Each structure stands twice: as C-alpha cells, then as structure tokens.
A and B are shown apart, each in its own frame.
Chain A
Amino acid sequence: GAGVSQSPRYKVAKRGQDVALRCDPISGHVSLFWYQQALGQGPEFLTYFQNEAQLDKSGLPSDRFFAERPEGSVSTLKIQRTQQEDSAVYLCASSLVTLAASYNEQFFGPGTRLTVL
C-alpha cells in the first residue's frame, strides 16, 4: 500500500518568506508526527497529532512554526518569516498507535528539504 507522502520534496525560500509543507499519512493512521533533521544530525521531534488534536507541540522551535491537521488526515507544517537556521529536512511520520497504547512503529515519509537563502 501507499506509504507516507510529503510535498514538495524540495523548497527554496528567501529569508522572510512563509512556507507550507504538506504530509499525507498512511490511510487509517491515527498518529502523525513532524520531525526536523539538520545536516549530519538525527531527526528531532517537533509536534504530535492524535487524529485532529495536537497533543504535543513541545518541539516547535519558535512561534514562527505552526502545524495543523484539521480533518485528522493530511497535515500542514507552516513556517512564517523563514530564517536561514530553518534550513533542514522536515520529516513526517505516522503510526497506528494512540497515546494510551504502548509504542508502535512510526513510518516516515521522504521528507521536504527546505533551503532558506
């Protein structure tokens, strides 16, 4: 079946521009996650959704970062007034697990590589 998809795959923005990154999780997956992966580093947790509810946004680096999942499926990560330090790969992952359950595998999408000039 189809995996997690993300678009665009590559995005170049000028400093100060707003960007929107899209994630289509695996159909039926309740949980959705966003991670940021800087060059040479492992992914870092940004935020977590269970259906449409954003249950954890502790990893969002600033109030310029905003994520939503209004209908409990597709999610958008928006970055306002982009800065050079926002340059990274943004990974989306989904899983079947709900908050109360034990850990279940997260399946990652291919990521969006954001370059801010």
Chain B
Amino acid sequence: RKEVEQDPGPFNVPEGATVAFNCTYSNSASQSFFWYRQDCRKEPKLLMSVYSSGNEDGRFTAQLNRASQYISLLIRDSKLSDSATYLCVVNPMDSSYKLIFGSGTRLLVRP
C-alpha cells in the first residue's frame, strides 16, 4: 500500500464548477500536510498547507481529518487556469524535511 493515495482522475469539469479531491495517508504519526500543484512538464509548486482547523485561500479550501487520515482540497468557481495535477503531500513525523507525494489527481477544466 502506498503511503499517500489519491484518485488519479482525470476530473473533467466545466468552468465555474466546484470540484473536490481527496487523499488518504497511511502513517498516523505524520505531522504536516500540503497540496502542491504541477502543470504539465513543469515543476511542483506549493499551493497551500493543510491545517487541522481547515484553511481557505481564495477559491481553495483544504481540510484535514486526522482520525480518518484523510485530506481534501475543494476548488470553487473553477477556472481554465486551474487545469493541472494536484499532488497530496505528507511530511512524516520522523523527518522535518522529507516529503512523501501522492501520484496526483489530474484536473481538466473545460470552457
């Protein structure tokens, strides 16, 4: 079983739609959680950190459920420019630096 699991998609949605991605992680001792965005043939870039209380950044909302070992990302009012792969990322407790990436969920926003 992979340490971080995501639905690969693709999620194909119209502009303006709301879309949600989920991710599960296996190590209950994991301490930090992130969503990264990766455009085709580009490097990953940090989208947002995920906090236990949930956090919002504009159209993006991230949630963490430690009991279920589950992370989510909600995108409201999708834009064409949101089309990318969204990587769920976990920082394990035994390391302050190592990142464990999921395989990513691909989002396609159509006009």
Contacts and interface: CB of A to CB of B under 8 A. Distances in A.
Contact of A56 (B46, B98, B104): B98
10 contacts: A33-B97, A40-B8, A42-B4, A43-B99, A103-B91, A106-B46, A106-B99, A108-B45, A110-B43, A111-B43
Interface stretch (A14-22, A65-73, A79-87, A93-101): A93-101
Given A42-B102, A42-B104, A44-B101, A91 B96 contact: no
B14 interface: no
Contacts of A91: 43-44
Interface of B: 4, 8, 31-32, 42-46, 87, 89, 91, 95-104
Nearest to A110: B43
> 6 nearest interchain CB pairs?
A42-B101, A108-B43, A103-B32, A43-B101, A42-B103, A103-B91
